[in-house]
Structure 1
Amino acid sequence: MKVLITGSNGLLGQHLIPVFLEDSRYQVIASGRGPNRLPRQAGYTYEATNLRDATSVKHLLDKHQPDIIIHAAAMTQVDDCERNKDLCWDTNVAATRYLLKAAEKHNAFIIFLSTDFVFDGLQGPYAEDAAVNPISYYGSSKVAAENMVRGSSLPWAIVRTVLVYGIAADSKRSNIITWVKNNLEQGKKLKVVDDQWRTPTLVQDLAAGCKLVADKNATGIFHISGNETLTPYQMAVQTADYFKLNTQLLEKVDAKSFTQPAKRPAKTGFVIDKAVNELGYAPHSFEEGLEIVAKEI
């Protein structure tokens, strides 16, 4: 069975590929922008593809004729999306439309990655049937793309996730664990928000969840995240404690302390009962995730 993974150079993409390569039932095609940045470059096919170009997308799908598409490619930096709305729309919405159109010919099962930012954060944590109401342009772009997926003639699943953390090769972006660790090791003080709540997701758990959806051919919406509701400040304190760093350098602040182009929902986080019961999804605790990330560092 052929599985196409878009955004393969990203954090999730880099963890999806080895998960599928371990299963001999799958033949993996990876697609990303520019050259392949994965440490492991054998055992699968890599195609540099501009997903914002309909012709490139059509060529990719006609060449490989995938049975499953995991669409992980996206513009996810919330403030960048607010500043550059045209690029955000082209990357998150138009590219999804091109992919869906090209996939119709092959009747591929599409697994679309989405976000907790489709919600306004007033009544979290959220189950799959909660009404979406984004408060940022990023969130709006993901809702628009979700609606395209749901309206498609293809078999589909939407996998929403929350605050993904982990280690990627050649990654220019930090995550909350590396951000806290690196700054505290340098003796820098950090202001960390304590009035926003999330269910942080270890990237290995998200990759495993996507694999479960593919294995079971499970259609519909699935919330795949961690199972603990924490604030960024609580995550920072746990990180500092784990690495035996000075928690006195962490200052608890509220979100109003920061001026950011995009609004953030106050309380999201997910109810993951559906994924646990229907897929057999079993996420790590944040403490266990810390240990996994520490070994990778």
Structure 2
Amino acid sequence: MKKILVTGSNGLLGQKITEKVLAEGRVNLVATSKGGNRYPVKEGYVYAEMDILDPSQVSEVIEKYRPDAIIHTAAMTNVDTCEANKELCHQLNVNAVNTLLSVCEEKNIQLIHLSTDFVFDGADGPYKEEDAVNPVSYYGESKVLAEELIKNSKANWTILRTILVYGISNDMSRSNIVLWAKGALEKASPINVVNDQWRMPTLAEDLAEACLLAVEKNANGIYHISGKDYMSIADLVRKVADYWKLDHSFINEVSSASLNQTAKRPVKTGFVLDKAIKDLGYNPHSFGEGLVILEQQMKR
């Protein structure tokens, strides 16, 4: 069995990879994150503290565990925070990748890097892997810079771009659009929802599966990984309201411009998934199926 090291294992995707490995075996797991382990189950894998901004610690941990592949999920992903704090964004999303790349090159480790639909400007989605990037935010720009470093490296690499990931993590420390909408509407709180942006939301379990498939198949190159349903953000929130039988009247549809957000967002992203389906055997859930899975997890 291959040994994988996951960065950012306390995050939503990191936790879903841990969950999958514990349920299915498939690989040996070394989970790493800054600070202590927040995943409730502590057996069946190794946990090591690793700050991706500390090159000597990164080197030390990778040298100790010698993984076959690194799944790099740690990143600064809040688009407005990235715009407001470009220096920290660059450190986390670009410099940290450079650190990992140098170790991967030296030790012949496969790097699976998570990227985003925000590398595109949103003028012409859904996008294929080879379409030209043109980010409209610093977050998108930092991800393009990281992709360029990876593509120009001598490492064995895979880039998985994804869109609007949703799901439930164990400590619920960070929300996502589905949980945010459900939570607000259950409290009968009015919410402003944009009706002029289109996405293909991705179930965290599907993205975790794609990460493991990329390791197992030793995939190389860029792959687009998302859900299969294309919808506006307003449609997404209405589907959440419908599923949990919540009142639509609290959904206030607005234009992106009216929100005055720090960072600009692409209008229409979405992905053509053919390459991932063909090469990896990727088979995502529909958005409706994703909501059923979330509901089952909430009952645990």
2:11 aligned with 1:6, yes or no?
Answer: no
| Count of residues paired in the alignment | 297
Shift of 1:23: 4.5
- Work out the CA distance in 2 between the residues paired with 1:260 and 1:250: 19
| 2:27 is the alignment partner of 1:26 | yes
Q: Per-residue deviation at 1:182?
A: 1.1
Partner residue of 2:265?
264
Deviation at 1:131, TM superposition (A): 0.5
1:18-57 equivalence runs, <5 A: 18-57=19-58
Structure-to-structure mapping, 1:61-72, within 5 angstroms:
61-72=62-73
1:212 deviates by 1.1
| 1:72-114 deviation digits (Å, cap 9, x = unpaired) | 1100000110111111011011011011112222200110000
For 2:158, give the aligned amino acid. A
Q: In the aligned structure 2, how far is the partner of 1:146 from the partner of 1:78? A: 17
Aligned to 1:99: 100
Which amino acid is 2:266 matched to? P
Per the TM alignment, residue 189 of structure 1 is displaced from its structure 2 partner at its CA by 1.2
What residue number does 2:112 align with? Answer: 111
Query: How far 1:25 moved relative to its partner?
Result: 4.7
Structure 2 match to 1:274: 275
1:48-70 Cα deviation digits (max 9, x unpaired): 11111111111111111111110
- Over 6 Å off, 4+ runs: none
For 1:250 and 1:199, how far apart are their aligned partners in 2? 20
* Equivalent position of 2:212 in the other structure: 211
| Secondary structure class of the residue paired with 2:17 | helix
Q: Distance in 2 between matches of 1:88 and 1:24?
A: 34
TM-score normalized with structure 2 length? 0.97
The residue number in structure 2 matching 1:230 is: 231
Q: Aligned partners of 1:23, 1:217: CA distance in 2, in Å?
A: 19
Q: Give the TM-score, by structure 1 length.
A: 0.98
In the TM superposition, 1:175-190 aligns within 5 A as 175-190=176-191
Q: How much does 1:151 deviate? A: 1.3
CA contact (8 A) 1:216 1:279 kept: yes
SS in 2 for 1:191: strand
Q: Which amino acid aligns with 2:18?
A: I
Say if 1:66 and 1:106, in contact at 8 Å, map to a contact too. Answer: no
1:294 shift after superposition: 1.4
Cα deviation, residue 39, structure 1: 1.4
Distance 2:23 2:241 in 1: 34
Task: Look up the equivalent residue of 1:295 and give its one-letter code.
Answer: Q
Mean CA deviation greater in 220-229 or 172-181 = 172-181
Cα–Cα, structure 1 residues 25 and 200, in superposed 2: closer, same or farther, change >3 Å?
Answer: closer
Identity %: 50
Separation of aligned partners in 1, 2:274 and 2:191: 35
Q: 2:156 is matched with which residue?
A: 155
CA deviations on 1:226-248 (whole Å, 9 max, x unpaired) are 11111111011111111111011
Distance 1:279 1:100 in 2: 23
Query: 1:207–1:197: structure 2 CA closer, same or farther, 3 Å change rule?
Result: same
d(CA) in 1 for partners of 2:30 and 2:46?
5
The match for 1:136 is: 137
Deviations 1:247-280 (A, max 9, x none): 1111211111101111100010111011111111
Question: 1:183: how far off?
Answer: 1.0
1:195 alignment partner in structure 2:
196
* Residue of structure 1 equivalent to 2:146: 145
Counterpart in 1 of 2:79?
78
Shift of 1:190: 1.3
Conserved? CA contact 1:61–1:103, under 8 Å: no
Q: Does residue 241 of structure 1 match 2:242?
A: yes
3-state SS of paired residue (2:231): coil
SS of residue in 2 equivalent to 1:105:
helix
Q: CA RMSD in A?
A: 1.0
- Secondary structure in 2 matching 1:101: helix
Residues 163-191 of structure 1 deviation map (CA, whole Å, 9 limit, x = unaligned) = 00000111322112211111111111111
| Structure 2 SS opposite 1:131 | coil
